[in-house]
Each structure stands twice: as C-alpha cells, then as structure tokens.
Structure 1
Amino acid sequence: MLDAPALLSELESTAERLLERHLATSKEWFPHEHVPYGRGRDPVEGEVWSEDDADLAGATIDDAVRSSLLVNLLTEDNLPYYFRTVEQMFGDDGAWGTWVRRWTAEEGRHSMAIYGYLMATRAIDPHHLERCRMAQVSLGETPSPETLQQGFVYLALQELATRIAHRSTGRMMGDPAGYDVMMRVAGDENLHQLFYRDLAAAAIEVDPDGMVVAMEEQVRTFTMPGTGIPGFTEHAKKIAAAGIYDLSVHHEQILVPVVLRTWDVENIEGLGQTGEEARERLMKRMAKSEKVARRLNERREANLTPA
C-alpha cells in the first residue's frame, strides 16, 4: 500500500486532467438569481415563527422536508472544517491545491443560495436555524478519514449522497423556486462527485490493496456529515422515514453504482493477501446492505398498499 506522498505524486497528472475537465464542464451561476426575494419581508422584533409564516407559492412542506432543508444547509455551512480536512489530505500545491480551493469556492455558494431561499420564504424557523448553525460550527465536527485512500473513497460517496439528498428534498418541496435552488446546488455536487469518483478509480490502478482496504472501511463506517447538528439523530430519522435518504437509497443509488459498477471491486486485479481479505469482507457487507435495502423497500411498499 502506498503512503500519502507517493500516492499524491502518482495521481498528480490525473488530478490535473480531472481539474481541467471540471473547469470545462462547470458553468458560472449566481446564488442571488435563484432566491425569490420578492417573498421576503422585514423582521418584526420579538416575533415567534410559525408554519403559517412560510410563503411557499401555495405549497406546503412537512417536518421531514424541513428537517432535510435544515440539515442540508447546516452541512454546507460547516464548509471551513471540510476545507481544512481536504487540504490536509491533498496539500495546497499544484493541481491538488487548485482543486481544493475551487471546490471550496463552489461549495460556499450552496449555503448562500439555500439560506437566501429559506430567509425569503421563511420556510423554517430562522431563530432555530441560527442557533443550530452556531452550535454546529462552534463544535467543528466533521468526518476525518484516517488515510488518503479512505479520503478518496469517502469524498466520492459523500458527494454523491449529498447530491441525492438535495435533489430528493427539492422534489418534495412543491415550490418551483425551492426546487430550482436545490437542483442548482445538486448540479454542483454531481460534478464534485465525478471528480472524486474518477480520482478514486485512478487510485485503484496504482494502489489496489490500499483502495480496497479503504473501501471496506468506508462502506462499513460511512456516515453522512451533520452529526454536530443539534437533534441530528431525530432529523435523520424523519429524513429516512420520508424516503429522502435512507439505507435503501444509500445501497441502491450510491454503493451499487459506485463500488460495484464504476470501481468494479469484484474484478480488481493485483491484490495481495490484505486486499483480498478486505474485498471478501466488503462483499459480505454489500450482501448484508442489499438485504437491508430489500426489507426497507418491502416495508415501504406494504405501507403504501391500500388496506
């Protein structure tokens, strides 16, 4: 297994190529052009927020969608700590440093757009939102992969998970402006996951043992960012119950297309004993994940079937 400096050196040209592809593919956009400011109003001192305050163009949203909007925004708000972690892994020189700074700049506008929408529409309690933001950012809790290989795997899975969460939330909002904001943010996240996904694929070519060990670790321990958000567990339960993001989504829309198809873990060649043993554990974990996803889908279908 390669150490971090050796792996970064081996992948320098790949990082340059993927960065150039990203810059050629990404499009300039402006958060303020997606916020329906006309629905906003001046705050009233001492006013207590209620659901009736929301102006969602005639739509209504439930607690699960509000939980998802809060978690999605606060996850984006925690960007300073993600930047610190990724820069520590990649360094600040060459294509690696350029990518980290570009990625950070693009991620920063996500919170601008979502926050602007929520404040203009008052879709969620602004006082509660700010208190949660202060608590989370003051804590500074983020996932911290132990190795560069684990970092590649986690970032690929997490960016795709975030894209899915944003898109699913947008589809359940009913408000065209809210849908537009979430789709615009999800579009960025998709480009980010493509960078990390393909970077990890290249890493498999030069360090198959290290990457399979990293896959097994991250598939087994993966958690969405946001654990520092007050009430995160309850929010996550609501989000899962609504089908926005749950273990079934995680398996079918993230693990299967990335780990099994794109990275083709079952057919990776050149593994030593350590890599082979990790692959065996990983495939058992994937089989277990498939069973859990199947049960969740069966339970959801049963609940939707008329009595």
Structure 2
Amino acid sequence: MESISMHSLRSFPLTSVRNPFGKTTTSHQCVNNMLTHATATTPPSTTTHRHTVTHKMPPEKIEVFKSLEPWVAQSILPLLKSTEQSWQPSDFLPNSSQSTDQFTTEVQILRDQSANLPDDYLVVLIGNMITEEALPTYQTVFNTFHGVNDETGASPSPWATWTRSWTAEENRHGDLLRTYLYLSGRVNMTMIERTVQNLIASGMDPGTENNPYLGFVYTSFQERATFISHGNTARLAKENGDPSLARICGIIASDEKRHENAYVKIVEKLLEVDTTTAMIAIADMMKKRITMPAYLMNDGEDPSLFSHYSTVAQRLGVYTAADYADIVEFLVVRWRLEKLEELRGEGREAQEYVCELAPRIRKLQKRSNERSSKILGQGGVEFSWIFNKKVMV
C-alpha cells in the first residue's frame, strides 16, 4: 500500500452521497473533512482519525457478496500464486547460509551499491517500506467489511481465502525492503522500527465504513498507486546505480499490479450485478478523497512526518498529484463508467461526478503547484530515519 500528499485536492467541495448500504452509526462527526488526507501544509494529527463511521449492511446487500462467492473462486483466487510459485525475500538478498566470507562479500556489494542512493530517495524508500510493514492494520480493515470478512480467522469462504492469501503475498514486501535497508547501513533502524510500531498501533480509517462496496473501490485505487510508486522507485534505483534494489522494487511492483487487477475485476463485477450501488460507492470514495494508508505514521519526533515524506515523494516523481488524477482517469476507462446507460437519479449524478473528476483534479493541481512553488524548496527537514540528515521538501 502507498501514500502521498494531495494538496491539489484541498479545495474540493465536500458534497454528500446518500447512504444506500444500510443504517449509519457515527461515533465522531467528520472533524475538518478537508484533512481526509495529509497535505504538505496541514498534516493530520498522528493520533486522530478523520472520522469513524460504520454501517449495518442490509441483508440484500450481504446476499450480493454471498452470491458472488463461486465467481470469486473461479475468477479471483486464480490471480494468487502458490507458495511454491512465489518469490521470497531471501531470493533477492545475500545468502546468510553461505560461508562467512562469501556472505560478507555479498553484503559489501549491497552496501557499495546502496552508497550511491541520495538521501531524499532513501526517505521515500523508507516511507514505502513502513507503509508495507503496517500490513496487520490492512488485514484488520478488510475484516470489517460485512459480507466478505473472515468470520472465524480460518473461514473457507472464497472472500476470506482471498484476504488471507493477499495478506501473505503482501507480507513479503515489507520483509524484503526492511532487510535490504538494514543491511545497507544507511538508515537508523531504531527510528524506523518505532515508526512502524506507532503506525500499526494507530490503525487507519480510510472511510470505507465497514462496507465492501467502498472497500473494494479503495483497494482498486490503492493497489494501482502502489504499483506506480514501487515502479518509480525501481527506475530511480537503476538510475542511481543500484540494480539489485531496482530488481527488488520491480518485483514488488509486479505483485501490486496483479493485486490491482483482482480488485478492479471485483468492482467491475459489482457494477455488473448491482450497478447503481456500485456507482454511488465509487463517487462516495472519490468525494471523500482517497486517504493513503500511512497517513498516521509517527516517529515520535516530527509531527508532520507523513506530510514531509509524501512531499519528498512528490518532488522526486515517485508518486504525485498527477498520478492521482491519472488513476481516477484509468478507473473511469477501465470500468467503462461513461458507458453505463441504465443509471438514474443518484446513480446518474454519481456517474457524472466521477467521469468529470480527473480534469477537475488537474486544474486544481495546476493552481496548487503555482502556490506551492512559492514555498517549496526553501529549506530542508530533518528525518530521524536517516540520522536526522536534512532533505529538501
């Protein structure tokens, strides 16, 4: 999963969509909804979620997901890879079972290559790794989705099987990046580990509201964002003379692309079997704006850590506001939203909103870039992850 500041979206109108999913329970009002994602100038609290909203899914909506279980088994589970077919972190790292001399040589090669990586690149790579390491939170969020949750922890249902297997595949990503960074000697592992612990303890509230319609829209967006981000870190690693790291980031990106395909197919199926509800869910998530999963990252020192990290990612071109708009546009085309003809009323309004969204984002991005250019690049920020070295934001 991936993260980025989206200050170009701060001026979006906060219009609402009727809840078609059942009774709504609000534990807290949406306090300052303009902070549904981190921004470079107004980061969210590291301990406060943007809102807490839950839904009781009506039986007919639960039944939609129950009825899709055979389809999930046939069309989604085959997108997973067996353990025997899967790569493992040790495939890309120095082999510790070799002789001490050989292992030391391989570690030295890794260190020599990583020495070429700029500090700002390391900040983004570390932030990506920390995001991946918060995997327990993501599985927890999955299991809040009514109708597709793992009711026992070992449910044989296709939905639960997917969630556990997706988690198992994703688990390798953080393990691989973490071990690479540890061996590189370039980073402060204690501060990184504290950030991971704080992030998992903080949890997350992506605005999915116990609702699988919303949840699968969110994951469709997030997996594509992660594919883009890891792909760009692979490209930059190669450009900076670290082919081993380029392979690492590239293999992770390939996993994210495969997972993206699964979630996009699920929403595509929901649009087929329950068109209006799925369309309203897409608009709902887009109006909330996609909250990146690591927006509560906290090292105990920098209260604006996520904002600073994501601003560096934006500057390096690892993941940008333009990418956000491109993802929205991609999903509109992929799901053929403009061609849905049976929508009426709120469904039609939702369709119009989403289909017109990408150009609006780009216009706002342009204005925001003009404002941001006046304040960005005027100084550096210390990152505890790299021993308090300063990086330009």
Calculate the TM-score normalised by the size of structure 1. 0.84
**Do residues 83 (structure 1) and 139 (structure 2) align?**
yes
Question: 1:30-61 CA deviation, whole Å, 9 max, x = no partner?
Answer: 111112464548xxxxxxxxxxxx92416522
Question: 1:121-175 CA deviation, whole Å, 9 max, x = no partner?
Answer: 1232222211211221222235241222111110111011011111111211231
Alpha carbons of structure 1 residues 25 and 288: separation in structure 2 relative to 1, 3 Å? farther
Select between 123-132 and 69-78 the one with higher mean Cα deviation.
Answer: 123-132
Alpha carbons of structure 1 residues 63 and 212: separation in structure 2 relative to 1, 3 Å? farther
Q: AA paired with 1:181?
A: I
CA RMSD, 1 decimal: 2.6
**Do residues 248 (structure 1) and 299 (structure 2) align?**
no
**Do residues 186 (structure 1) and 256 (structure 2) align?**
no
Partner of 1:167: 231
Alpha carbons of structure 1 residues 58 and 86: separation in structure 2 relative to 1, 3 Å? closer
Alpha carbons of structure 1 residues 243 and 10: separation in structure 2 relative to 1, 3 Å? same
Partner of 1:223: 291
Alpha carbons of structure 1 residues 176 and 188: separation in structure 2 relative to 1, 3 Å? same
**Do residues 133 (structure 1) and 196 (structure 2) align?**
yes
Q: AA paired with 1:19?
A: I
**Do residues 13 (structure 1) and 13 (structure 2) align?**
no
Partner of 1:46: none
Correspondent of 2:87 among 11, 18, 29: 29
Tell me, what secondary structure is at the counterpart of 2:136? Answer: helix
Q: How far apart in 2 are the matches of 1:197 and 1:112? A: 26
Tell me the number of residue pairs that the alignment of Structure 1 and Structure 2 aligns.
Answer: 286
Which residues of structure 1 form unaligned runs of 5+? 42-53, 300-307
**Do residues 112 (structure 1) and 175 (structure 2) align?**
yes
Moved over 4 A (4+): 37-41, 292-299
Select between 158-167 and 59-68 the one with higher mean Cα deviation.
Answer: 59-68
Alpha carbons of structure 1 residues 143 and 40: separation in structure 2 relative to 1, 3 Å? farther
Partner of 2:313: 239
Alpha carbons of structure 1 residues 223 and 56: separation in structure 2 relative to 1, 3 Å? farther
**Do residues 273 (structure 1) and 320 (structure 2) align?**
no
CA contact (8 A) 1:212 1:278 kept: yes
* 1:105 to partner: Cα distance: 0.6
Correspondent of 2:126 among 67, 70, 77: 70
Q: How far apart in 2 are the matches of 1:130 and 1:273? A: 50
Tell me, what secondary structure is at the counterpart of 2:87? Answer: coil
Q: How far apart in 1 are the matches of 2:123 and 2:341? A: 43
Tell me, what secondary structure is at the counterpart of 2:328? Answer: helix
* 1:20 to partner: Cα distance: 3.7
Question: 1:180-230 CA deviation, whole Å, 9 max, x = no partner?
Answer: 111111111111111000011000011111111111122231122111112
Q: AA paired with 2:66?
A: S
Partner of 2:354: 282
Higher-strand-fraction structure: 2
* 1:177 to partner: Cα distance: 1.2
* 1:233 to partner: Cα distance: 0.6
Q: How far apart in 2 are the matches of 1:102 and 1:164? A: 22
- Aligned-pair identity in percent equals 27
**Do residues 208 (structure 1) and 281 (structure 2) align?**
no
Q: AA paired with 1:210?
A: T
Q: AA paired with 1:189?
A: E
CA contact (8 A) 2:226 2:253 kept: yes
Question: 1:108-133 CA deviation, whole Å, 9 max, x = no partner?
Answer: 11111111111111232222211211
